[in-house]
């Protein structure tokens, strides 16, 4: 159990367009979901934390108007990269925590975004 999926696994988009990435908890209810960004050969940097039905909490330095996060249900969170630029190219990983403690996180397989 505790499977998290992401869609798409990789996406290429043109500069100036927007792209949406979905994160789903397949077999559990995720009260909290997290979005991370990973640059090549670097660690994961937390972008934002979202609780179902409420606004996401963004980490310092993350543009909330550029990276729109929606957590509309207990099994789905979306990250929309608006007006994408080449510097937004990265590996985006989501994770989810189920109800109850101690809040173990389950990670999705990641989405490779390339902006041309």
Partner 1 sequence: AQSVTQPDIHITVSEGASLELRCNYSYGATPYLFWYVQSPGQGLQLLLKYFSGDTLVQGIKGFEAEFKRSQSSFNLRKPSVHWSDAAEYFCAGRNTGGFKTIFGAGTRLFVKA
Tokens of 101: 């403690």
- Per-residue interface string for the shown chain with partner 1, residues 35-64, x marking contact by CB under 8 A: ------xxxx-x--x---------------
Of 110 and 115, the one with the shorter C-beta distance to partner 1 is: 110
Question: Nearest 5 degrees, angle CA 92-CA 93-CA 98?
Answer: 150
Stretch of 11-19, 63-71, 82-90, 92-100 contacting partner 1, by CB under 8 A: 92-100
Of 70 and 105, the one with the shorter C-beta distance to partner 1 is: 105
Beta strands 10-13 and 111-115, pairing class: parallel
**Of positions 70, 80, 89, 105, contacts partner 1 by CB under 8 A:** 105
What is the rounded CA–CA span in Å between residue 7 and residue 94? 11
What is the rounded CA–CA span in Å between residue 90 and residue 17? 16
**Of positions 11, 32, 62, 82, contacts partner 1 by CB under 8 A:** 32
């Amino acid at each position: 159990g505790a499977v998290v999926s992401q869609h798409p696994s990789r996406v290429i988009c043109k500069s100036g367009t927007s792209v949406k990435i979905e994160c789903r908890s397949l077999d559990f209810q995720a009260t909290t979901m997290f979005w991370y960004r990973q640059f090549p050969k670097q660690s994961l940097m937390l972008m934002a934390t979202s609780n179902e039905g409420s606004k996401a909490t963004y980490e310092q330095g993350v543009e909330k108007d550029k990276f729109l996060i929606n957590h509309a249900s207990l099994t789905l969170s979306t990250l929309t990269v608006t007006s994408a630029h080449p510097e937004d190219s990265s590996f985006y990983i989501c994770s989810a925590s189920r109800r109850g403690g101690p809040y173990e996180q389950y990670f999705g397989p990641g989405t490779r975004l390339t902006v041309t």
